Structure 1
Amino acid sequence: MVNQRDFFRGNNQEISSDLQGLQTPEGDLYLRFFLPCQDEFVLRAAGIREVMQQPPDRITAIPNASPLLLGTINLRGQVIWVADLGQFLGDSTLLNTDRPEIPVIAIEDQETILGLAIDRLGEMEWLDLENLQISTTIPDQIAPFVQGEWISTDESGTALRLLDHVAILRSARWAA
């Protein structure tokens, strides 16, 4: 039988010093990713249902569908649309679909699911909303979908833009 002391073998001093080195993350968890133009964006992890690598031949093209949509995939028995997020946001650089796998982020709100095809995935990161800034330099075509941005403190000054997954799902652009 295993008791609680079996989990804490060794010097209690060592255990407490190890725990002091751990930091409690501040903010919320976000997924960083890149579009074909190499702009970097984030989505709140809470709005993401799943992240997958999808072979292009498993995305079924649908005739007469919006040019923003690559097709559909089967996600555990549920058919969902997959959109080219870069094209949706007005990126002129086309997504390279001539590769073994395409990263797809499945976003969800109130049982509505949409797959967003992107160029490449970044890392998961804890970001603090208190540092989120509203920018006046966000292009008009993406402004309805951007909640704000974090500006890098180094000399590059690059922006990490936070996308609103609900605004993307509910957009009138899908009807076009």
Structure 2
Amino acid sequence: MIGNPHFLTGQGDDISPDIEKLETPEGELHLRFFLPSGIELALPATGIKEVMNQPPDRITPIPNASPLLLGTLNLRGQVIWVADLGQFLGDPVALNTQRAEIPVIAVEDQEIILGLAIDQIGEMGWLPSDQIQAPNNVPDTMTSFILGEWVTKGDPEQCVRLLDQVKILRSARWAT
């Protein structure tokens, strides 16, 4: 087969006409996930260090820390803080920590890592950059952390909001 002069050019009788051409995805790869109230959010895959499910007893509470922080966990020898993302963003529904595992997204920027505890992990998907819109009806507590949103399937009530993980990591809210 390799000795066939048409192998590298894609010409020849051995290529089936039924094979579909692979399409190049458009946009950027994002992880979609949900807060306890059902709000769907997304983070760019480039800023995510790891996605994991952690038993609540592996997250060690730290006394006198910000109420936004659930505690710390050991990520392959590195201790990282775990925050309740919903509470940080002002989500009205509390995160259920009384379950077998809590989904945590570890985000990173310039060697700063923070675990974001969420309600449910969604899927990875290519979200087209040219279809991002200015956010609508975003609560004031979330506004500064939302870059924009994608309206899904033409329903203006159903959207995926894009978060800025750098603004979350560098927020002054952690000091309170």
Global fold match (TM > 0.5): yes
**CA separation of 1:4/1:85 partners in 2, compared to 1, >3 Å: closer, same or farther?**
farther
**CA separation of 1:56/1:4 partners in 2, compared to 1, >3 Å: closer, same or farther?**
farther
- Give the number of equivalent residue pairs: 170
- Offset from partner CA, 1:22-67 (integer Å, 9 cap, x none): 2110010000000000100000000000000000000000000000
Q: In structure 2, what is the equivalent of residue 116 of structure 1?
A: 116
Asked if 1:12 is matched to 2:14, the reply is: yes
Q: In structure 1, what is the equivalent of residue 10 of structure 2?
A: none
Taking only the aligned residue pairs, the percentage that are identical comes to 61
Deviation at 1:19, TM superposition (A): 4.9
Deviation at 1:159, TM superposition (A): 1.3
Identify the range of structure 1 (156-165 vs 140-149) with the bigger mean alpha-carbon deviation.
156-165
Letter of the 1:97 counterpart: T
Query: When you count helix as a share of all residues, which structure comes out higher?
Result: 1
The two structures, once aligned, show a CA RMSD in angstroms of 2.0
TM-score by length of 1: 0.90
- Rounded to whole Å, the distance in 1 between the matches of 2:23 and 2:163 is 27
Structure 2: stretches of 5+ with no match in the other structure:
8-12
Deviation at 1:135, TM superposition (A): 2.4
Deviation at 1:4, TM superposition (A): 4.4
- Offset from partner CA, 1:124-164 (integer Å, 9 cap, x none): 00011110001242221101100000012344641110000
- Rounded to whole Å, the distance in 2 between the matches of 1:172 and 1:155 is 34
- Rounded to whole Å, the distance in 2 between the matches of 1:34 and 1:155 is 18
TM-score by length of 2: 0.90
- Rounded to whole Å, the distance in 1 between the matches of 2:100 and 2:142 is 29
Q: In structure 2, what is the equivalent of residue 71 of structure 1?
A: 71
Any runs of at least 4 consecutive aligned residues in structure 1 with deviations exceeding 2 A, and if so which?
16-19, 153-157
Identify the range of structure 1 (144-153 vs 43-52) with the bigger mean alpha-carbon deviation.
144-153
Asked if 1:31 is matched to 2:34, the reply is: no
Structure 1: stretches of 5+ with no match in the other structure:
none
